[in-house]
Structure 1
Amino acid sequence: MPSGTTYLLFISFALAAAFTPGPAVMLSIHNAMHHGWRHAILSSLGNISGLLVLSSFSALGLDAVLQSSESAFTAVKVAGAAYLIWLGVQQWRNAAQRPAATQTASNLHMQTGHANKPHKLYVKGLMVALSNPKAIVFIAALFPQFLTASRPLGPQYLALTLTFMAISLLALSTYAGLAVMARRRLKVWFASGWPQRVSGSVFCAFGLSLLRLQRG
């Protein structure tokens, strides 16, 4: 475990990073609005599992591969961008199939039931976390700043990783709760399908911006 002061400083950085809107936040909001808070948590658990994978990659030094190999970085970047854009397109397509506001809740459940299976939501959250090659570089750049060289590095790295996962889950859960409250207040707009179109556009924008990333 890092020293007390260092650990508190890390928490402040982690809070800022976790609560900054990004693809994971948008996915959490989307799932909360369309499937409910509990289903949003499933995708959030997938996302923090992805953070654990990325942290492990960073600890193994795989971030250096992305930093040193232009082709490897480009391949991961294009794959991640394609996945985010695909998510956006799917949300636009689903928005066109939204049931009218007058349809019953049971009909709504039947039309969306295939999309809210627990394993699918979990995998989608995991893939969103793994779709950004800069995430590995971010973790690799952030974590070493809070490690004490005179102490065993393994336990410190694990403590920072688990803390970052917990804070990320807190942030995603908070956004999901706010989305659920907004849905209750905006039922008509929600039924129109426009929330899906908006979130789909944001996912596409994230994907296109990812294509512009350069190795840092």
Structure 2
Amino acid sequence: MHISNWLLFCSVSLLVTFSPGPAVLLAISNSIAVGPRRAMISSMGNGTGLFIISGIAMAGMGVVLATSATAFMLLKLAGALYLVYLGIKQWRSKTSIVANAPQQPGAANPNSNGKLYRQGMMVALTNPKAILFFSALFPQFMVQGQPVAMQFTVLTTTFVACAMAAHLFYALLARLLKSQLANPARARLFNRISGGAFVLLGLSLLRLRAKAA
């Protein structure tokens, strides 16, 4: 993978991981319950789950890569459209990432690091959209003719690192700015900025697919 493609993937991964989702909500919830430092234990578990889900998605893409260039192009086109869909959905959302985070004392057991780790891993493994998401994102940056395993390792490790950075950011921010994050106007602005970025990304990838065709 060329360094320019990797830097672009880093930018996309940061955009994706900083957009609110189940793992971000868990990081916020655990930060409020047990503190930002121990909340990162669940983020480590989430990273493990992402590696498993990514491996499943990549196994399917490896078959497509090896068998049909046309099918791979269609997969990339579907992935670009899926990113546009995610952007529209995020734009229309009116919910606050803090308001939706479960804050009951039982959300995380402060005496069990193992439970925090398993909790994060299960959030990744039980997300029904995870395989679809990886199947949509990764083909945009994969190169036919290069080892799939190496590309899988680089892409997944980069994505997990970005995810953990995002979780740490939200965990710290939740402790410092809980009331501000819950403000509906700020929540709506954040959702529209991140949603618009998703749409622009998807449209730009569609243009790349059209030129490649």
TM bracket, shorter-chain basis: 0.5 to 0.7
Question: How is 1:1-216 mapped onto 2 (pairs within 5 angstroms)?
Answer: 2-61=1-60, 91=102, 94=104, 114-182=109-177
Moved over 3 A (4+): 111-116
- SS across alignment from 1:132: coil
**What letter is aligned with 2:141?**
F
Deviation at residue 182 of structure 1 after TM alignment: 3.3
Query: What count of residue pairs does the alignment treat as equivalent?
Result: 145
Native 8 Å contact 1:57 1:136 kept in 2:
yes
User: 1: distance between equivalents of 2:175 and 2:166?
Assistant: 14
**What letter is aligned with 2:124?**
A
Deviation at residue 180 of structure 1 after TM alignment: 2.1
What per-residue deviation string (whole Å, max 9, x for no partner) do you get for residues 71-104 of structure 1? xxxxxxxxxxxxxxxxxxxx57x46xxxxxxxxx
Native 8 Å contact 1:43 1:122 kept in 2:
yes
> What fraction of aligned residue pairs are identical, expressed as a percent?
41
Are residues 61 and 116 of structure 1, via their aligned partners in 2, closer, same or farther at CA, if it must alter by over 3 Å?
A: farther
**Structure 2 unmatched runs, 5+:** 64-101, 181-213
**What letter is aligned with 1:20?**
S
Deviation at residue 140 of structure 1 after TM alignment: 1.2
Root-mean-square deviation over aligned CA pairs: 3.1
What per-residue deviation string (whole Å, max 9, x for no partner) do you get for residues 25-48 of structure 1? 011011111110111101111111
User: 2: distance between equivalents of 1:112 and 1:174?
Assistant: 20
Question: Larger C-alpha radius of gyration, 1 or 2?
Answer: 1
Give the alignment's TM-score, normalised by structure 2.
0.60
Are residues 35 and 146 of structure 1, via their aligned partners in 2, closer, same or farther at CA, if it must alter by over 3 Å?
A: same
